[in-house]
Amino acid sequence: MRFVCPECGNRSCVQAAERVIKAAPTLYAKCPSCNDLILDKAEEIDLTSIRFDSSRCEGCGKRPLDVVMAHILASSVQNKKCPGLALRQVGTPLLSPSVPIYARPQIGYKNLLLLTDQPIIAAASDRILRDVQEVKGVIYGNAAEPFGLAYKEAAARTCRTLAGCDMRADLVTSAYGQLLIYKSQSKIHIEHDHSRKIAKLSVLPIADHAIFDALAGPGTLGLTCVLMGAKKVTLNDAWFPAVENAYLNLHVNRRVLGIQSISRVSRATKARAATVSGGSSYLFATAKTHRAYIELYHGAFEEFDIEASGTHVILVDPFPGTEAHFKALIEDIHRKYPRIHVICV
């Protein structure tokens, strides 16, 4: 199954979950012919000492991550022996897709998205995309701060896509199966490890219950609940790019979730991408499996009609540092609906 990437329009950018799951064990693994060059990331390096072309494996075409990052730096500073930056200052390399790895990764064609806050790297973004074939996109921002909309009244925070495409995916693994979660990374919070949150789900009454994922983002926890046997899952987010990503992830994970039909209810467009819903939450899309009904809403947590939804469990997954904002709302729900489990994950 092929998908058109909603960010760049390319037909090779977004893949079906089952395809990535099958490829994951060897995606970044060394083949018998691979090199394994390790560079000092904390000190300046002599860029003229690295032969970038010959470091590519003749067998699989991959290169070690350190070599790719050094090539990005070399492409940025052009012909300078001492670049003035250590490798760790170049930026944050984000594997695309990100899958579980157990050794230093070997990077293939268009398997790396670079997040940088270095002006010299940013200024060379087009050249990097042209010269370093492993790079699929360059985005400008600070990895220490989450991207997206923390809550309805907050100012949305995004970074800028400088070159290429910012769409990337994380392969999320649980005891119930695997999901591939795509996100427009310049607009969506970066999360490297979902295991702690999924472990919290495992002790909740999920199977055969109705779950409301109040701050769903691109759908990671809510769609995991479908794998866990929930009879109804409602995904909700106030940030429109997250809703679009969640809609894409319904399609990408169609086979692994057993989705029989997907229907887009709202035809809201990217013109709403920087907004929250103006009134009450509205239904964006629905999907059905053989045992579960999935709803996708665009709107603030506070606007959702919990009483009418028949919800048994509410999942609240706030941005780091914003937990206090939702504390009063969660306490109010506990008072009004004492039988509903409200879990801050």
Q: In angstroms, how far is CA 181 from the centroid of its own chain?
A: 6
In this structure, what is the dihedral angle of CA atoms 207, 210, 212, 218, given to the nearest 10 degrees? 60
> Sheet harboring 232-237: ordered strands across?
259-264, 282-289, 293-298, 232-237, 210-213, 313-316, 341-344
List domains and CATH numbers for the chain.
17-164 (no CATH), 193-344 (3.40.50.150)
* SS3 at position 314: strand
| Predicted local distance difference test score (pLDDT) of residue 288 | 98
| Predicted local distance difference test score (pLDDT) of residue 271 | 46
| Predicted local distance difference test score (pLDDT) of residue 277 | 46
Dump pLDDT digits (tens) for 333-344: 999 999 999 998
The bridge status of strand 112-116 relative to strand 135-140 is parallel
Kindly state the tokens that stand for 322.
């914003």
Out of 73-77, 259-263, 266-270, the most confident range is 259-263
Whether the bond between 97 and the residue before it is cis, its omega within 30 degrees of 0, is: yes
| Predicted local distance difference test score (pLDDT) of residue 269 | 57
236: which strand partners? Answer: 297
The yes-or-no verdict on residue 81 having pLDDT over 80 is: no
Give me the mean pLDDT over the 57-80 stretch: 93
The yes-or-no verdict on residue 90 having pLDDT over 90 is: yes
pTM (2 d.p.) = 0.93
Dump pLDDT digits (tens) for 103-122: 999 999 999 999 999 999 99
